[in-house]
Structure 1
Amino acid sequence: MTTLYLIRHAEAEGNLYRIAQGQHESILTDRGWRQVQALERRFEGVHIDAVYTSDLYRTCATASAICRPRDLKPIRRKDLREICVGDWEQRTWGEIYRRTPVQMADFSTHPERWYVEGAETPAQVRDRMLAALQDIAAENDGKTVAVFSHGYAIRMVLAALQGMTLAEAGTTPHGDNTAVSLLEASHGVLRVLWRDDNTHLQTPEFLAGEKVRRRATALEPGLWFVPLDLQAHGAFFETCAAEAWEDAGEKCPFSPQRLRDGITSRTTLVGFRDEEPVGLVQVGPAPGWISLLAIRREYRGRGFGVQLIGQAVQLARGRGAQTVRIAPPEEAAARTFLADYGFAPAETTAADRTVLEKDIAFRKEFLGD
């Protein structure tokens, strides 16, 4: 008999920024690393003979919770990857919902009829996951192994092991990041003992580090973004930036002309909720430098601000930056918000402002060959 712990990866950028990850690479968030620590505590004293993981960065990083304390080297397998979502990959869930609302609903609730261009079908994901788990169980007869994979892939395979059709799989729950399921394999037959347990994220030790803030969920599409068009978005651009300028306590007067003059050397995106513009993010002129991050007052506190950070991260990484940086006024309330999402003091400018910096680099030890 083989015992298999099937574990979902920790919170990654796509989960937080509301971007479809699929098989695209992304790093863990600060909260994700705290989940890794909680997972490590959960498995203290549990004997593990081997660790298998999908070859994507976010699972390899999560697997360190079990590998590092035991000096185990993870065995990377491509067949444990998340579903490839084809044309959806790296698009925001807000954009996906706006373009293909029926397909987005089917993705979660009707996997038997979901498909988009260039994607795997849920049935293909289910079948490769079943084959991978059966192969791992056969390789480790009589042993206990940990297997790290992804939310959708795990959901499809657990439903199959519980005797459900693809249509019935759409009624099953979504396991949280780092949720643990326990499987048992005997004579080539896999069965689920329990699934999607997240009690390690309910301990006082973990909850003490949770920030009190609005967090988007998988059921909320979020924002979609377009490049700034002054003819279409000029009034919103100035109003939103002026509000941010005023609320940040800037000492010099707000200058719409200076704002417009800076557009040519920067990339500016407008974020929309449905068809309503709600925020702005501007990066440049230096790679990784956030020159504007603003949400209209009536839309604040609804989980949209972090999605602006996500767009800044994507833009910065696309230009080769290893960090993103911003320098709000010292008394700005935005400093607390930014600190909640991993920005830390880095240096002081000539104008006596503290630059806040966030690391967005990939760690080499979690990258594939």
Structure 2
Amino acid sequence: MTKIYLTRHGQTEWNVEGRMQGTQDSALTSLGVKQAEWLGSSLQSEPMDLIISSSSGRAVKTAELIRGTRNIPLETNDRLKEINLGEWEGRLQSQIQKFFPYEYKHFWEEPHLYESTEGEDFAEVIERAGRELEQLALDNEGKTILVVTHAVVLKCLMAYFEEKPVRDVWSGAYMHSTSLSLVERAAGEWKVHFQGDTAHHEASSSP
């Protein structure tokens, strides 16, 4: 059996500004740093063999803060980066909604209809991230690992674990900053124990 905790990076400057990040990056805010530290404290007594982070800076910084002073190996992984949003990356959501109204509606409300000319669609992220988690579970059988990644990747992974169609990718818990999920892989099956938990947050926070 492989036990996998999953979390999203802490709040970033672009989250606050309402910009779409995708494969681009922005720094954690002071709240984002605290969110990662809160999660690290809540996991302090949980045995952890390995931390695997998306190679995006915001995720790596979050992973480092969660690890704190614990002697846990930390690896980065390009295949756990956020969905590639093409020309949307770095733009304000309000601008995207204005200039790409149908695509924006599809992204948030009808994900099975969303198409990106320069980036990825949801089905591609489900395939990419799902395949990577299968490999991670195989490579780390019997271990407990923490995966630090991104909101869309987490929702796509939950769709993969629960075998949901792309149209339902946004259903279920919202993945707030440093929200925690737990899955297990045993006997060829995935089991989701909980998802999107923010009980460790010590104050109300923005996504």
Task: Output one character per residue of 1:64-103: Cα deviation in whole Å (capped at 9) or x when no partner.
Answer: 1332321223111111110000010111111001111221
Aligned to 1:50: 50
Aligned to 2:115: 115
Structure 1 residue 117 displacement after superposition:
2.3
Report the Cα distance in structure 1 between the residues aligned to 2:92 and 2:128, rounded to whole angstroms.
27
Letter in 1 for 2:176: D
Structure 1 residue 26 displacement after superposition:
1.1
Letter in 2 for 1:109: E
Letter in 1 for 2:36: V
Report the Cα distance in structure 1 between the residues aligned to 2:55 and 2:174, rounded to whole angstroms.
22
Report the Cα distance in structure 1 between the residues aligned to 2:123 and 2:13, rounded to whole angstroms.
26
Task: Output one character per residue of 1:150-189: Cα deviation in whole Å (capped at 9) or x when no partner.
Answer: 0011001102211210012233342110011100011332
Higher relative contact order (CA 8 A, sep 6+): 2
When normalised by structure 2's length, the TM-score is 0.94
Report the Cα distance in structure 1 between the residues aligned to 2:97 and 2:172, rounded to whole angstroms.
21
Aligned to 1:298: none
Report the Cα distance in structure 1 between the residues aligned to 2:100 and 2:194, rounded to whole angstroms.
34
Report the Cα distance in structure 2 between the residues aligned to 1:171 and 1:38, rounded to whole angstroms.
26
- How many residues align? The count is 207
Report the Cα distance in structure 2 between the residues aligned to 1:90 and 1:15, rounded to whole angstroms.
11
Aligned to 1:96: 96
Letter in 1 for 2:79: D
Structure 1 residue 133 displacement after superposition:
0.8
SS at match of 2:58: helix
Residues 1:22 and 2:27 are matched in the alignment: no
CA contact (8 A) 1:67 1:73 kept: no
- Structure 1 pair 106/173, CA: closer, same or farther in 2 (3 Å)? farther
User: 1:34-73 to 2 correspondence within 5 Å?
Assistant: 34-73=34-73
SS at match of 2:200: helix
Q: CA RMSD in A?
A: 1.6
SS at match of 1:161: helix
SS at match of 1:22: coil
The unaligned stretches of length 5 or more in structure 1 are: 218-369
Task: Output one character per residue of 1:259-303: Cα deviation in whole Å (capped at 9) or x when no partner.
Answer: xxxxxxxxxxxxxxxxxxxxxxxxxxxxxxxxxxxxxxxxxxxxx
Structure 1 residue 114 displacement after superposition:
0.4
Structure 1 residue 131 displacement after superposition:
0.9
Structure 1 residue 191 displacement after superposition:
2.1
Task: Output one character per residue of 1:290-348: Cα deviation in whole Å (capped at 9) or x when no partner.
Answer: xxxxxxxxxxxxxxxxxxxxxxxxxxxxxxxxxxxxxxxxxxxxxxxxxxxxxxxxxxx
Aligned to 1:168: 168
Report the Cα distance in structure 2 between the residues aligned to 1:138 and 1:65, rounded to whole angstroms.
27
CA contact (8 A) 2:24 2:89 kept: yes
User: 1:2-13 to 2 correspondence within 5 Å?
Assistant: 2-13=2-13
CA contact (8 A) 2:83 2:153 kept: yes
SS at match of 2:181: strand
The unaligned stretches of length 5 or more in structure 2 are: none
User: 1:1-369 to 2 correspondence within 5 Å?
Assistant: 1-201=1-201, 206-207=202-203
Letter in 1 for 2:55: D
Report the Cα distance in structure 2 between the residues aligned to 1:52 and 1:72, rounded to whole angstroms.
10
Task: Output one character per residue of 1:100-140: Cα deviation in whole Å (capped at 9) or x when no partner.
Answer: 12211211221111013201111110111111111111111
- Structure 1 pair 86/17, CA: closer, same or farther in 2 (3 Å)? same
Report the Cα distance in structure 2 between the residues aligned to 1:53 and 1:33, rounded to whole angstroms.
16
Report the Cα distance in structure 2 between the residues aligned to 1:172 and 1:166, rounded to whole angstroms.
13
